[in-house]
Amino acid sequence: MIVRRRWTAAATTVILFSAVLSHPASGAAAPADPAAPIALSATETAVVRVQLRDQAQLDRLVATGADLANRPRARDGRIVADLVLSGTQLDELTAQGATAVQIVQRAGDGNRHYADSVRAAQARTAAGLRAPAGGQRSTAAATAVDTLQVQQAYWWTTTGQTFLQAQVATTATDDPDVEITVSWRTADGATGSFPLYRFEDSGEYQYHYALPQPVPSRPVQLSATSSLGGVSRAVTPTLWPNASPPPLPAGYQKDFIDAYLTPVDIQARIKRLARQYRDLVDVIDLPNKTQGYRRNAVGYLGDPAVAALVVESVRFGDQNMNGVQVRTVDPGRANRPLTVGYRDRVLTVSLATDTAGKTVSTTDEVAAAINARQPDRFRAIVEDGSAGLPMPVAGPTRLDDGLQGTEVPARPWTVQALRLGVHRDGSRVGVLAYSQEHAREWATPLVTLEFAERMLANARTDPATRELLEQVDIFVIPTVNPDGANYSFNDFNFQRKNLVNHCTGAARDPKNRTSWGVDINRNYTVGSYFDGYVGASANCLSGNYAGTAELSEAESGNVIALAQDHPNIKFAMNVHSYGGYFMWPPGAYRADGRVTLPRPSIDESTLFLNSARRIVGAIAQERGTVTWPSQTGPVADVLYSAAGNSADQLYYELGIFAWDFEVGNDRWNPATNQWEGVGFQPPFDEAHGESQEYAGGLVEMVRVARDYAAAESAG
């Protein structure tokens, strides 16, 4: 029997990034008992690692706007993806042949991990403180011989375990059944092999690959064979990343993060740093105020199970609309017209009656009357399934914005950036680090704030840090999307987008409240959905909704405004989670022929890769985290097409060397021989570890910028 090892990336697959890590699972949730069934209650939501039945099942998920938390990958010849699912959705997938293999994170975990982190921080303050080989098609039965090229062969050792990763391409690109097996040999003579899996993207063959495989020691030879008889030349695997930063001096200060931080906490931290380091810090108020932690007040008038309207305030709930009452009444007289009145914060609809005095108004008529007669105060839509039904006498119902955060200010939000350096006048090369474009990625502002505080705290005691602040102008936006982040902390952990609701009609039904908003990292201008690139959506309920137009959102406008206002910025890092990627442009392509944005020049590609080695090496210094070589490279090659992302606009339009981090690498579980995901809001010990290692990566990016500027001056 032929075992097909294949995974095809759907052209429209977008949402988040995920990858790998090989360090002990300190502070993270314990792996589930492999014998225990994985299940959710019907109303529970979680990030679930699911082994899908086949490619068709993945295609259906993508077409229906499923919330994919990573790029699906091949494991043991099957497609595995991390999905944000309710219990009902998981049951449906299971009934269709999928298998849940890991609960990465439950919806309530984020709140618990945040509370745990805060309690732990308060306590510290008070105290003063594998892949089994599949069947291979017989070479004798092959009708053609292909040629194989080893594109990647890298190894590394972390926490006592050595890993090998390979990527091989065949010239038989149109044959979906070609199987490739890698054979390896170590310095002490041990040998072994593992299968690779076919990877297609947007219908185009790319290569065969596998997740990093454990090997007993340093591999010294690798070769590949195919089921068509092709044999690659033998190569010597290369040590990855083969770069490390300068050693830290005695007394170097770090570890400034002791809890998850809400946008309110971040605002306070920015204020404190500006006060504490007046000679090294400016605070920049970015020009576009966001909507703020606000929503329209809404309620059901009637019974959604029988007949009902959705009535919504035109103004936000905090603008004196929360608590407004809406009701329908029977006038108690015959031959009365349908009327609408508003008095003393009560919207009253008096239903029309017939000659017998029976109410005769339909749901559609009542909605139309409210919209026509109170357009400045209310919007009404007919609930799904209620069109044309008799409108019942109902209410009063109280409108409410549904927001649970009592400590979040209900007003437009001013997004702030920190500017760090001795010379904050544009005369030095600039570096931008920005995070939390996606609200649910709680660890990302911990990275940028840890980085900022390291630079400031060591400026007076460490000559090397002082030199960096003399030579580099640093900009940090800890939270690009504060409104969505406030909603994620207080209302719905898995909120990805901002809080601006561009939906119309039935999509404004409050049952969709956790799906409203714009994906900030799909709202930029280069390679956008509006220009025909894939990886974003026009569906306002999609996790990667691109908005009404390019730069329609205040949040994306702020990132670009900062870069435009400071043309000395030549390097930028967009910090996301979860998954252990290190990426750069191009980040988008057109589906027809998989035509990417223009590739960087040879010199720029070399700079991107060499800098990546340095930065990945710096990340690994903290706790052995290694970002896989297969997940280091252009976004469109190692992840998927992400139409309208910020890095592409910074690079192609403003000439900035723009990268993307994905923090929160998968961990290797030696008990199961599997890589396991950590989620968007892991237990704080894991998030703290991510903040420490990736802050080190940002410090190395500053060194990269310094060296680049020095070379430019010398040239």
Full 3-state SS string of 440-456: CCCCHHHHHHHHHHHHH
Stretches in the chain below the pLDDT threshold 50: 1-34, 129-143
Phi/psi of residue 549, nearest 5 degrees: -165, 170
Helix (H, G, I), strand (E, B) or coil at 435: strand
Those residues with Cβ within 8 angstroms of residue 549's Cβ, 6 or more apart along the chain or in another chain: 530
Active site residue 453: no
pLDDT of residue 69: 77
pLDDT of residue 85: 86
pLDDT of residue 342: 97
pLDDT of residue 495: 97
C-beta neighbour count of 96 within 10 angstroms: 13
Identify which of 478, 483, 651 has the alpha carbon closest to the alpha carbon of residue 571: 651
Catalytic residue among 383, 450, 662, 686: 662
pLDDT of residue 43: 76
- The secondary element (H helix, E strand) that includes residue 350 is strand 346-350
| CB burial readout 668-705, b (16+ within 10 A) else e | bbeeeebbbbbbbbbbbbbbbbbbbbbbbbbbbbbbbb
Say whether pTM exceeds 0.85. Answer: yes
CA–CA gap between residue 481 and residue 445 (Å, rounded): 11
Phi/psi of residue 536, nearest 5 degrees: -150, 175
Contact predicate 145/83, CB 8 Å: no
Contact predicate 639/71, CB 8 Å: yes
Contact predicate 656/432, CB 8 Å: yes
